[in-house]
Amino acid sequence: MKRFWVTHARTFSDVVTTARTVLRDLELDDVPAALRPVERYSGGTLPPPLAGTLLNALVENEWFRSQVADRGPYDDVVVQAFVEQPPGWWEAVVTRIVDSQVASSADEAKSHADRLAAATAQLAEAKRRIDQLRQDHTAAERAERADDKLEALQRRVRDLEREAAGHAGAVDKVAAALASARDEVAVLLNERDTAKSDVRALKSERATLLRRVEQGGVERDRTDPVRFARELDQLVALARSVGSSGPGSSSDSAGDSGADAHALPPGVRPDDAAAVAWLLDHASGTQWVIDGYNLSFALGKAMADPAEARREVERRLAKLARLAGSGAVLVVFDSALQGERAVRSGRLVDVFFAPSHQSADDAIVERAADPGTIVVSNDRELRERSEAKGALVLWSDALVAWLG
């Protein structure tokens, strides 16, 4: 029973307060033993265990209940029911308990409702803030992506600016080179026009001299040495320019040998493949002397590997050697070898390496004086020197064109 009152002590706090007041007014010796812990408690509201003890004594201890009754009557119906304990007084107790629990439940329900409303409001606010944060996060991501794109574009702009600066410099260089080339072209065109004028004048002079020679109108007045020497120079130049087309040419002296037999006929140029073909058909027993490295350049062979260039020249000249009949084909190269001359005789083509103290050009000029020698080179100076020694000269381009 005491546990019941402990459980509902707070419901009957007014009864506990009245009983405690009576207990304090009693003499210490009159206080029941069970209530002495309650009497000794000096705090405010009694704890539920002590309050339950006090209510239990009020119900079960008639003496103590009479002491409380002597202080009555009480306006509080429940307190008066505890003191008098009339029939049905438990209904008042139960009613109080039920009402208290109902009120407590109502308060608790209201509290729960208030807390639920507050929680709902907090949840709504939290959702709103989450949505706002999501929007802010999305905006931040877009801004970050925009910053990345902007940075990439800025880098691209800087790269393009550097490229543009480089292109501008290159354009300036090309423009300067183009201007220089135009100036050079203008100079060359002017020189060409001058050369054409000189050629026309020389042709006119040659024609005049030819007519005078044929008509016997050239004066050979040896009393004026200077004039006589000038006329001799003109005649020598005329003889070289006329070639085989003049008096005493190979066409007019078919039975002659030596240099005349190797002169090219009219219309055959020394830079044309036809010159090689004509000489192979009409000049037997000749010695072909080839400027080796000059021919390798004409063949389009780079000098990165000289040995390979020499082998290619030998291989290509084998065709000429086969068709030369009783003639000989000698190819001359510069050499880095020390000491005496190095000569290597191949099956068809003879190869000569000029000694270290001599150039290939000088070695070729030495052989140009031999009768029946044909020198092949694109080097103008070498051709002139060889021709002065009596050799017939062809261009390397003519041989390359003939080799095919």
The tens digit of pLDDT for each residue in 279-322 reads 999 888 899 999 999 999 999 876 667 888 899 999 999 999 99
pLDDT recorded at residue 361: 96
Q: Is residue 61 part of a domain?
A: yes
Q: Is residue 34 part of a domain?
A: yes
Full DSSP string of 262-325: GPPPTT--TTSHHHHHHHHHH--S-EEEEEHHHHHHHTT--TTSHHHHHHHHHHHHHHHHHHTT
**CA separation for the pair 399, 404 (Å, rounded):** 9
Q: Is residue 50 part of a domain?
A: yes
pLDDT recorded at residue 331: 96
pLDDT recorded at residue 66: 86
Those residues whose C-beta lies under 8 Å from the C-beta of residue 228, and which sit 6 or more positions away, are: 220, 221, 222
The model carries a pTM of 0.39
pLDDT recorded at residue 377: 97
Q: Is residue 341 part of a domain?
A: yes
What is the number of structural domains in the chain?
A: 2
Q: Is residue 226 part of a domain?
A: no
Q: Is residue 216 part of a domain?
A: no
pLDDT recorded at residue 169: 81
Give the domain extent around 337. 269-403
Single out the residue in 57, 86, 115 at which a domain terminates: 86
Chain centroid offset of residue 100 CA: 87
pLDDT recorded at residue 305: 79
Q: Is residue 187 part of a domain?
A: no
pLDDT recorded at residue 235: 55
Single out the residue in 38, 63, 86 at which a domain terminates: 86
pLDDT recorded at residue 400: 96
Those residues whose C-beta lies under 8 Å from the C-beta of residue 350, and which sit 6 or more positions away, are: 328, 329, 330, 331, 343, 344
Single out the residue in 86, 101, 117 at which a domain terminates: 86
CA dihedral sign, ordered 279, 281, 287, 291: positive
Decide the pairing of beta strands 287-291 and 373-376: parallel
CATH of residue 321: 3.40.50
Q: Which regions of the chain are under pLDDT 50? A: 214, 220, 226, 230, 236-238, 240-261, 338-341
Angle between helices 396-403 and 306-323 (to 10 degrees): 70
Q: Is residue 78 part of a domain?
A: yes
